[in-house]
Chain A
Amino acid sequence: MAEYRVLLVDDEEEFVSALSERLMLRGIEVDSALNGEEALARLVEKEFEVVILDVMMPGLGGLEVLRQIKSTHPDTQVILLTGHGSTREGIEGMRLGAFDYLIKPVDIEEMLEKMKEAAKTVRTS
């Protein structure tokens, strides 16, 4: 049985597909969404301990999705994915309640470590 459930949210389909498969190979239960609206709909259908959320998406942007998740699912931990070298979105995201942020391209071991820490806080809360 998977240790925790993760929702992966990014508008790049190939990125989502490859990363989802890599996480599943490591025993993690993964679901995915290609935009913010789809992500919020998924969260209504199912509980996720961790959301991996791209900041820059067309339509409903990552930071707005984060705001809504923290409002409707305060226990769900969000780890932001940002492409920017300057970490402005990361810092703004932390202020909005994100657990942490990662800069693309991501090292999968680093991502796994952060997801584990995030999931731990959900289980102990």
Chain B
Amino acid sequence: MDKKVEELFRVKEIGFMGKVTASLSHEIKNTLAIINESAGLMGDLLRKDAPEDWPQYSRLANLLASIEDQVQRSADIVKRLNQFAHSMDKSLAELDLNETVRQTVILAQRFAILRRVNLETQLEPKPLHLQSDPFRLLYVIFGFIERAINCSPREAEVRVKTERSGEMFQVTVTDQGTFEADNLRELVSTSPSAEGEKAESDLAILAQTTEALGGTIAAEQEDGGLNKVILSFPARVPGR
């Protein structure tokens, strides 16, 4: 298939996924609203009519409060799902890199918790406005955060920093994990035309996606065992 047609197909496929996910998240919100009001009504009726010395009163009240808490928790998850779905709306949009990183870290938080890794952010105080592909940017940043989480020991910290560096906007992912600088540099510099396992590795694909966004990747290891991956993105995706 022609590369341009392939790219168009990919954009449409992602847009389809985003549209359906957003629609489903809206339906989930409706059911959460029903559960919320039903539990709320049960609480209202309990407070209105049930004697407080009824043995099950406080137990029921606590259970209803728990339902309301879990409804809110679900609503927050659905909000994240919806934001994620909407990142697929357009293949080019005006963004604040801080907001993209914030959203990505929220999505990655569960993965960090499962690995007992502390995921922190250090965001540039001012907005960092750029034009890019929202979904691909999210994918790249998430990919490098996930890599850092997976190679970190328990209780270690992964830090995601944003800053402006000249004309470029940088996302730096720092970890305290096992790191092979040469290996990482080789994988991220694998040419798209290369064949075999290396070209298809997750890191090679992340690197190629970064390149497609007009970005670059640098990998460093500092004294004291801190490893850094620095993603640099331009204000505009070249050629778009």
Q: Which residues of A contact B (CB under 8 A)?
A: 12, 14-15, 18-19, 21-22, 25, 56, 83-86, 104-106, 108
**Chain A residue nearest in CB terms to B48:** A25
Take A15-B34, A18-B37, A18-B38 as given contacts and tell me if A105 and B75 are in contact as well, using a CB distance cutoff of 8 Å.
yes
Are B48 and A22 touching (Cβ within 8 A)? no
13 more A-B residue pairs beyond the given contacts A105-B32, A105-B33, with a C-beta to C-beta distance below 8 A: A12-B30, A15-B33, A19-B37, A22-B37, A83-B26, A83-B29, A84-B26, A84-B29, A85-B79, A85-B82, A105-B37, A105-B71, A108-B40
Q: Given the complex of chains A and B, what is the CA–CA distance between A113 and B226 in angstroms?
A: 51
**Chain B residue nearest in CB terms to A13:** B34
**Chain A residue nearest in CB terms to B26:** A83
What are the residues of chain A within 8 A of B189 when measuring CB–CB?
Answer: none
Q: Using an 8 Å CB-CB cutoff, how does the interface string of B39-60 with A read, 1 for contact, 0 for none?
A: 0110011001000000000000
**Chain B residue nearest in CB terms to A19:** B37
What are the residues of chain A within 8 A of B86 when measuring CB–CB?
Answer: 86
Q: Using an 8 Å CB-CB cutoff, how does the interface string of B9-51 with A read, 1 for contact, 0 for none?
A: 0000000000000100110011011111110110011001000
What are the residues of chain A within 8 A of B22 when measuring CB–CB?
Answer: 84
Distance in angstroms from B207 CB to nearest chain A CB is 31
Take A14-B38, A18-B34, A18-B38 as given contacts and tell me if A105 and B29 are in contact as well, using a CB distance cutoff of 8 Å.
yes
Interface centre among A19, A22, A104, A106 (most CB of B within 10 A): A104
B83 lies within 8 A of chain A by Cβ = yes
B78 lies within 8 A of chain A by Cβ = yes
Are A18 and B32 touching (Cβ within 8 A)? no
How many inter-chain residue pairs (CB < 8 Å) link A and B?
Answer: 62
**Chain B residue nearest in CB terms to A15:** B34
* Of the residues A14, A19, A21, A104, contact of B32 by C-beta under 8 Å: A104
Are A86 and B32 touching (Cβ within 8 A)? no
Q: Given the complex of chains A and B, what is the CA–CA distance between A40 and B75 in angstroms?
A: 30
What are the residues of chain B within 8 A of A106 when measuring CB–CB?
Answer: 33, 36
**Chain B residue nearest in CB terms to A104:** B33
Are A104 and B48 touching (Cβ within 8 A)? no
What are the residues of chain B within 8 A of A21 when measuring CB–CB?
Answer: 41, 44
Distance in angstroms from A11 CB to nearest chain B CB is 9
What are the residues of chain A within 8 A of B40 when measuring CB–CB?
Answer: 18, 22, 108
Q: List 28 A-B contacts (CB under 8 A).
A: A12-B30, A12-B34, A14-B38, A15-B30, A15-B34, A18-B37, A18-B38, A18-B41, A21-B44, A22-B37, A22-B40, A25-B48, A83-B29, A83-B30, A84-B22, A84-B29, A84-B82, A85-B79, A85-B80, A104-B29, A104-B30, A104-B32, A104-B33, A105-B32, A105-B33, A105-B35, A105-B71, A108-B37
What are the residues of chain B within 8 A of A15 when measuring CB–CB?
Answer: 30, 33-34, 37
**Chain A residue nearest in CB terms to B37:** A18
8 closest A-B pairs by CB: A83-B29, A18-B37, A105-B36, A85-B79, A85-B82, A104-B33, A105-B33, A83-B26
Q: Given the complex of chains A and B, what is the CA–CA distance between A56 and B25 in angstroms?
A: 13
**Chain B residue nearest in CB terms to A26:** B44
**Chain A residue nearest in CB terms to B78:** A85
What are the residues of chain B within 8 A of A22 when measuring CB–CB?
Answer: 37, 40-41, 44
